[in-house]
Structure 1
Amino acid sequence: MKKPELPNKVEEPLSEYGHYTYADYLTWQMDEMVELIKGKIFKQAAAPRVNHQRVLAMVFNTIYNFLKGQKCEAFCAPFDVRLPVKSKRNEDIDTVVQPDICVICDPEKIDEFGCIGAPDLIIEILSPGNNRKEIQNKYEVYEESGVQEYWVIHPNECTLMIYTLVEGKYLPSKLFTIGEIVESKIISDFKLDLTEVFENICFQFPPLKQPFIC
């Protein structure tokens, strides 16, 4: 696979309200992590909260260890996932996301710069302020790009929702929580015990009195 050409680096995009591509993205040197969704820039406002990181570590380690020696491979952010629509040319790709966790079963999609094409499974863990991006914007591009399973985890509410792609549209699961075991249709025989995922979170801090800001 041809490597993306790295142009001369520039500090920042000229405007957050323009339309940008992966070719532009490669030129930026920014302090915070950014994603492109249909050409629009989304900046991560602050470092993830501690509960986000606890859930990320637990879920990623469980999946990573399960997949050892298998064809599928798990990655966690920061890890660029490019989602082409028209072509795989850098100038044509306008969606570049960094899922918290992704599982890729086609090694042809993995290159030096990350993943090009839809991962088989994506897991996003909500943080204050990113609900709309994860639930609405990313939901749309993951569905359109053909991500077979999309898991959304809410650490502070100790819940997990699975969206499964059926005939090009996502169908939601029931809302899973502590005491339940979640299975993946993509990763055969994989099971995730939500009690183990949430036990050090939901019994440590009281629920937030204020809702997350969208």
Structure 2
Amino acid sequence: METLDLTEIINGVEITGPSPFGKHQRIAANIFRLLDRFVEPLGSVYFSPLDVIFEDGINRLQPDILFIRKENMGIFQDWIRGVPDMVCEIVSSSSYEIDTEVKMAIYEKYRVPEYWIVMPEPKTIEILTIEGDKYKLHSFAAIEGSVTSKVIEGLQINISDIFD
């Protein structure tokens, strides 16, 4: 049985990987539903697969979820061509290094204002915001509790709504 492969260009190298597992998709759907209801007057939320092209032929990523403020919607063309206001990666054991190191460095390089790292095991959400040239921890919750966004003002998410 074949799987759908997803393709990204990371630092000039084309990377192909399998489509996400069902658990990953449930978590992505939960995040999307919560964000979509909240951000309607502020901007738009999108989900993978949708290319975010930072530089043609150099960095074309497909974050699991992304948010663009209304005033920045000019970057939404055929794909996203520019820097979203927030990106979210749902990390699996096979994507840990790519998501938490390689992609994080790319998002940091292009100064994506907010980066969410969601780990189904052990049920954690880490929200990083760009300060100067580096990401700093803005909000974190593990197993229970809630996280807040700096970019999406007023957003507070109980992590049990994501992982249950």
Query: Residue type of the partner of 1:73?
Result: S
Cα displacement (A) at 1:173: 4.2
Specify which of 96, 102, 108 is matched with residue 143 of structure 1.
108
Matched, 1:83 2:48: no
Matched, 1:95 2:74: no
Sequence identity, in percent?
27
Matching residue of 1:28: none
Matching residue of 2:26: 54
Mapping for residues 1-214 of structure 1, pairs under 5 Å: 32-44=5-17, 46-68=18-40, 70-84=41-55, 90=56, 93-105=57-69, 106-111=72-77, 113-173=78-138, 175-198=140-163, 200=164
Which ranges of 4 or more aligned residues in structure 1 deviate by more than 6 Å? none
Cα displacement (A) at 1:49: 2.1
Cα displacement (A) at 1:197: 1.3
Native 8 Å contact 1:51 1:156 kept in 2: no
Rounded Cα–Cα distance in structure 2 between residues aligned with 1:99 and 1:167: 22
Secondary structure at 1:188 match in 2: coil
Residues 46-84 of structure 1 deviation map (CA, whole Å, 9 limit, x = unaligned) = 33122211110100111011122x241110001010013
Range 131-140 or range 177-186, more displaced? 177-186
Rounded Cα–Cα distance in structure 2 between residues aligned with 1:57 and 1:77: 11
TM-score normalised to structure 1 length:
0.70
Rounded Cα–Cα distance in structure 2 between residues aligned with 1:47 and 1:41: 16
Cα displacement (A) at 1:190: 1.2
Native 8 Å contact 1:49 1:127 kept in 2: no
| Number of residue-to-residue matches in the alignment | 159
Cα displacement (A) at 1:174: 5.8
Native 8 Å contact 2:6 2:19 kept in 1: no
Cα displacement (A) at 1:32: 1.4
Structure 2: tracts of 5 or more residues without a match: none
TM-score normalised to structure 2 length:
0.91
Q: Whose Rg is larger?
A: 1
Residues 9-56 of structure 1 deviation map (CA, whole Å, 9 limit, x = unaligned) = xxxxxxxxxxxxxxxxxxxxxx51110011012111x33122211110
Aligned-CA RMSD value = 1.4
Secondary structure at 2:5 match in 1: coil
Native 8 Å contact 1:148 1:186 kept in 2: yes
From the two aligned structures, give the one with the greater helix fraction. 2
Query: Residue type of the partner of 1:100?
Result: D
